[in-house]
Amino acid sequence: MKITRRNFLQILGITSVAAGGISQVWAIPDKWVEKLQHGPRIETWKMSTCGQCPAGCGIRVRLIDEIPVRVFGNPIAPVNRGFLCPMGEAGLELLYHPDRIRQPMRRKGKKGESSWEPISWEEALGRMSQGLQALLKKKQADRFGLFLGDRNTQLTHFAGDFVTRMGSNNFFPWRTPGINELGFWQAFGEFPP
């Protein structure tokens, strides 16, 4: 393709709009930006497992001054052998998204008003524990249930076991049809068996 002045200006305009949109998605906290700009710039790597789908691909996370800046596939991981699908590569978007819930929340006001206030982890876990103990004491474990997305197979098994051991059958793992297969295909060039 021959680059004309017109094509160049179109590309420049699209790039500018895209860069402006990224600033909305990648809302990195101000204290982290300050640290990245003026910190000692020490690079470290952490090995982990991707939680974007049930595959559990091995990942390497690049950190600058202990702040995650990029996710790569782990070449020695048996599941993905260094490759990573677009969902895995976009994992940091969840970390930095401005609408991400960063701590437990409690409803403030009437049901349906969508008004919430932050509470501590201690308070949230205490309230859940008290509620579950009350249901067990009254032998009403069937009133307890759990809906869970399909981000992690291990978590799904753990949560299902927990609900069952509580004495309830109300466990509902939710799976997005086809989304994981699409990610598998994009990463590995074939659909899963």
Task: Count CA atoms closer than 13 A to 149's CA, side-chain side.
Answer: 7
pTM given for the model: 0.56
Domain ranges of the chain: 24-100+178-193
Report pLDDT for 34: 72
The model's pLDDT over 114-147, given as tens digits with 9 standing for 90+, comes to 889 999 999 999 999 999 999 999 999 999 888 8
Mean pLDDT over each residue of the chain, to the nearest integer: 81
The model's pLDDT over 156-181, given as tens digits with 9 standing for 90+, comes to 888 889 999 999 999 888 766 676 67
**Can you identify the CATH homologous superfamily of domain 24-100+178-193?**
ADC-like domains (2.20.25.90)
**Can you list the alpha helix ranges (DSSP code H) found in the chain?**
5-25, 30-38, 86-89, 91-96, 121-137, 153-166, 179-188
Q: At what angle do helices 121-137 and 153-166 cross, to 10 degrees?
A: 40
Report pLDDT for 6: 61
The helix/strand/coil state of 24 is helix
Nearest CA to 50 among 78, 73, 26?
A: 73
